[in-house]
Structure 1
Amino acid sequence: MTDENRPPPDWAGDVSLGVKAWVGDSPSTPHTATSPPTERRQKKRGGRSRTKSFAERAEAREARQAAAAAEVQADPEGVARTIVLDSLTGQARTRKELADKLAKREVPDEVATELLDRFTEVGLIDDSAYARQWVESRHRSRGLAPRALAQELRRKGVGDEEAKEALEQIDEDDQRAAARALVDKKMRSMATLDRQVATRRLAGMLARKGYAAGLAFSVVREALGEQDEELDEPHPDF
């Protein structure tokens, strides 16, 4: 069976399972590059603290950088694979995010590209799936509108087509419901404000979340109108 006709593995697209499938039952030994220690270590002697001088810290930092560079030079593919696997463990990443990490460690471009291509082929890197998950999560938890979500996806390196497809999950009803939830929550702290001031602040809050002006003012007017009706309702006598 050719690679083109071979069905994808069960774990394709699932980051956590994909990482396990890549490393097998016996995970590869973590790379030996040491994490930067705290730049200021204090040694207490006789109740007095002594700190490393600026020159000593700079020397230690240069030594770490030299060791990391030597490691990459000795085994660029191994270092790159470890960086990518570590980055994908626990959460998905976009291809750009991973490429930036590899570039920061000075992994050669050709090595990075080949490795990222391989991870994309087996489904461990999937910008489309990442975008869909990101949009659903951020819209639900933060109430962000498509405009704000599109900006976030762009910063993460998600392509226009992938972003557009992911943003189609949110229709106008979803936006209106999320905007209303944000307004209702914010109104609790605005009971004493003038109607005009409250309108301006609520609409500004929605604008920062990415909502269009028309939708924002419509939701705000609706919420404030319902609030006024509730305040005007006579209370029954008991």
Structure 2
Amino acid sequence: MSSEDEAPGTRADRSAGDPESGRRASAWDAALRLLGVRARSRSEMLDRLTRRGFSADEVEAVMARLDKHALLDDEAFAREWVHSRGEYSRRGSVGLRHELRAKGIDEAVVAAVLTDVDPDDEYRRARELVERKLATSTADLSERTVRDSLMRRLSGMLIRRGFPQGIAYDVVREQLREHSQRG
């Protein structure tokens, strides 16, 4: 079995013989270190290895090896990214689309993954963000100018976080109405 056929992390991966194979092992090690931090898209991995100064041949060999061991999967990466950024960073589907494109994910994969985003969950996340902001607000919502200003600020916050405009305006309108009825 050649070193190319062995699983990642085996002794063959750390070929210590000639300088040429040592350099290739360094590219492989760099790729594994990058994957140890978090999953990467194919485009990200290509970019990071290239920026680290590895030759095109070395990068190509490492990419082939990563593929062979199924260590890069753009669809799985995109699904995990959407789940993580949606739940923990409270990002909306529009923002997630932009982030995935920036990571080099193919548009067809982006579209497929974003169809799994539950509109009710997205609405809930937006509502939770606005509720948190309003919980500390001492604004007098009986004044129209204050209410309009708050509407713009909160809607803008949601839109910057990547929520669709329709959801942003609906959530803010609903929350301002509820908040003014409580207070």
For this structure pair, what is the TM-score category when the shorter chain's length is used for normalisation? 0.7 to 0.9
The answer for the alignment partner of 1:139 in structure 2 is: 86
Higher-helix-fraction structure: 2
- The 8 Å contact of residues 93 and 117 in structure 2, kept in 1 or not, is answered as yes
- The 8 Å contact of residues 150 and 167 in structure 1, kept in 2 or not, is answered as yes
The answer for the alignment partner of 1:118 in structure 2 is: 65
Per-residue deviation, 1:191: 2.4
Question: How far, CA to CA, are the matches of 1:228 and 1:192 in structure 2?
Answer: 10
Question: How far, CA to CA, are the matches of 1:201 and 1:211 in structure 2?
Answer: 14
Question: How far, CA to CA, are the matches of 1:113 and 1:29 in structure 2?
Answer: 18
The answer for the alignment partner of 1:23 in structure 2 is: 9
- Aligned ranges for residues 44-63 of structure 1 at < 5 Å? none
The answer for the alignment partner of 1:230 in structure 2 is: 182
Question: How far, CA to CA, are the matches of 1:122 and 1:111 in structure 2?
Answer: 17
Moved over 3 A (4+): 26-31, 73-76
Residue 202 (structure 1) aligned with residue 149 (structure 2): no
* Structure 2 unaligned regions, length at least 5: 1-6, 141-145
Question: How far, CA to CA, are the matches of 2:124 and 2:29 in structure 1?
Answer: 43
Please report the RMSD computed on the Cα atoms of aligned residues, expressed in angstroms: 2.4
Question: How far, CA to CA, are the matches of 2:12 and 2:136 in structure 1?
Answer: 52
Residues 140-171 of structure 1 show CA distances to partners (whole Å, capped at 9, x for unaligned) of 01211111011111111111122222212212
CA spacing shift, 1:29–1:74, aligned 2, 3 Å: closer
Question: How far, CA to CA, are the matches of 2:68 and 2:15 in structure 1?
Answer: 24
- Aligned ranges for residues 7-22 of structure 1 at < 5 Å? 21-22=7-8
Question: How far, CA to CA, are the matches of 1:29 and 1:186 in structure 2?
Answer: 52
Letter in 2 for 1:147: V
Question: How far, CA to CA, are the matches of 1:190 and 1:86 in structure 2?
Answer: 45
Query: Which structure would you say has the larger Rg?
Result: 1
- Aligned ranges for residues 180-199 of structure 1 at < 5 Å? 180-193=127-140, 194-199=146-151
Per-residue deviation, 1:28: 5.8
The answer for the alignment partner of 1:170 in structure 2 is: 117
- The 8 Å contact of residues 41 and 104 in structure 2, kept in 1 or not, is answered as yes
* Structure 1 unaligned regions, length at least 5: 1-20, 32-70, 232-238
Question: How far, CA to CA, are the matches of 2:13 and 2:67 in structure 1?
Answer: 20
Count matched residues.
171
Per-residue deviation, 1:121: 2.9
Residues 48-103 of structure 1 show CA distances to partners (whole Å, capped at 9, x for unaligned) of xxxxxxxxxxxxxxxxxxxxxxx7x6744222111111211242111122212221
Residue 99 (structure 1) aligned with residue 46 (structure 2): yes
Structure 1 stretch displaced more, 74-83 or 147-156? 74-83
CA spacing shift, 1:74–1:117, aligned 2, 3 Å: closer
- The 8 Å contact of residues 203 and 220 in structure 1, kept in 2 or not, is answered as yes
Identity fraction in percent: 32
What's the TM-score, normalizing by structure 1? 0.65
- The 8 Å contact of residues 14 and 22 in structure 2, kept in 1 or not, is answered as no
The answer for the alignment partner of 1:50 in structure 2 is: none
What's the TM-score, normalizing by structure 2? 0.82
The answer for the alignment partner of 2:4 in structure 1 is: none
